[in-house]
Amino acid sequence: MENSKTGLNRRKFLASSLSCAVAAGVMGLSPRIASAQNAPAKENDKERKLIYREFGKTGWKIPIISMGVMRVPDPGIIKAAYEAGIRHFDTAANYQYGRNEQMVGNIVDKMGIRDKVIIGSKILIPAQREALTEKNAEERIDQLIDATLHRIKSDYIDVLYVHDVSNPEDISDPLILDNLKKAKKAGKVRAIGISTHTNMSSVINKMVEVGEYDAVLTAINFTMADDTELHNAIEKAAKAGIGVVAMKTMAGGANWPNPESRRNYDAQTVTRAALKWVMNNENIATSIPGFTNYQHLSDDIEIAYNLDYAPNERKLLEDNNIKLSMGFCRQCRQCLASCPYNSEIPTLMRIHMYAAQYADFYLARRTLDELPKNRGLQACTSCDTCLAECANSVNIPEKINDLKLMYA
């Protein structure tokens, strides 16, 4: 399958000097993924190595660039990613109603590489957590885990996350935690974790306090450079042996809403500057950029070799106008207290990102449908009271009005 915009397909990707060198030198993980060696590669006769980091207390070592599979349209990209050196693939039970997990499972099974990769998946979205009771929790969580195992064609999940946690109380909820620990003890799960888009610092700090979790998947990007609480929480988690995985590293993607960024910086500069900023934080084990074509893969995997900034990348990161015009919602929830209608503003902002920047209208629609009517689009009257509370100076009413035009 050739990407019409880039003209780069799997054959051309593998024919490039970079990918051929990587594919020739990559060494797989051991059957227990206890550790992995740095994979040597050569370009212009100069030896280079992928940068590996320890994944918390698991004993695994993986490249700093992994793969978010959520929006991948072509399983060949997963195969090419493995051949380029990527060893960690992130999916979830609710992505494409399970078909995303199936795609990962099918390609891993076909390639015969299950013992050489780390598969991360997620269950228990907020609505599923709310439905848990003392009577049904063990059976329901077992069913969700078994369904994921079936779809990924495996008898174990490497990393199993509780999906989209914003309330720290969920971290220590025995209905969730006790049953995850049982699954881990039974060998169905090798590491348990939490994914969080919202209230991240409080969630991560609670994980450290509880002391039972192996991994956290958190949003982090350069527009959040001043979020001291989040950076401190990430550092604390890493020191406690929790493997920190970064998502939302592109602040919504290279298709940023402000024309100034697209006029002054090409997509490769945007991608590399944003990812390098995240991965220069050594407390972060790896990141899961969601590349959807071979050009994205080529751009992203290069960062796994070198985290030094090129001049134009540094210029972008130091350009305050870029940050101010990004329109990225850091999901801090400060706006909620000011809303007279109790509208779920952070989720609406995330939905706008899915639609306007990811161009994933299916995911945007599904996420919108999961919101209660009295907290969704209908609840917002664009009264502007939230504007003064936004840490990233996002024009919230404008974005919600965009959503109303798309989904009213």
pLDDT tens digits, one per residue of 270-325:
889 999 999 999 999 999 999 889 998 999 999 999 999 999 999 989 887 776 55
User: What number of other Cβ atoms are within 10 A of residue 57's Cβ?
Assistant: 13
Alpha-carbon distance values, 394 to 36, 226, 389 (Å): 42, 16, 10
Give the pair of three-digit tokens for residue 289. Answer: 């950029």
Residue-level pLDDT at 31 = 31
Token readout for 264 is: 């002054």
Q: Quickly state the pLDDT bin for 75 (edges 50, 70, 90).
A: very high
Percent of the chain whose pLDDT exceeds 90: 55
pLDDT confidence tier of residue 232, bands split at 50, 70 and 90: very high
Compare 337 and 27 and report the one with higher pLDDT. Answer: 337
Q: Give the dihedral of Cα atoms 160, 163, 168, 170; nearest 10 deg.
A: -80
Question: What pLDDT score does 277 carry?
Answer: 97
What is this structure's pTM?
0.83
Q: What are residue 159's DSSP bridge partners?
A: 120, 191
Q: Across all residues in the chain, what is the average pLDDT?
A: 86
Q: State yes or no: pLDDT of 338 exceeds 90.
A: no
Is-contact 50 304, C-beta < 8 A? yes
Confidence label for 17 from pLDDT (cuts 50, 70 and 90) = very low
Name the CATH superfamily housing domain 10-318.
NADP-dependent oxidoreductase domain (3.20.20.100)
- The pLDDT, as a whole number, for residue 8 is 66
The tokens for 316 are: 């972008």
pLDDT the model gives residue 38:
37
Q: For residues 139 and 252, give the distance between their C-alpha atoms in angstroms, rounded to a whole number.
A: 37
What residue ranges do the domains of the chain occupy?
10-318, 336-407
β-pair type (46-49, 40-43): antiparallel
| Percent of the chain with pLDDT strictly greater than 70 | 84
Given a cut of 60, whether residue 44 has pLDDT beyond it is no
Degrees, nearest 5: CA angle 159-141-98: 65
What's the first-to-final CA gap in the chain, in angstroms? 35
Mean pLDDT of 179-197: 97
What is the residue whose two structure tokens read 């989209």? 164
The reported pLDDT for the residue numbered 385 is: 85
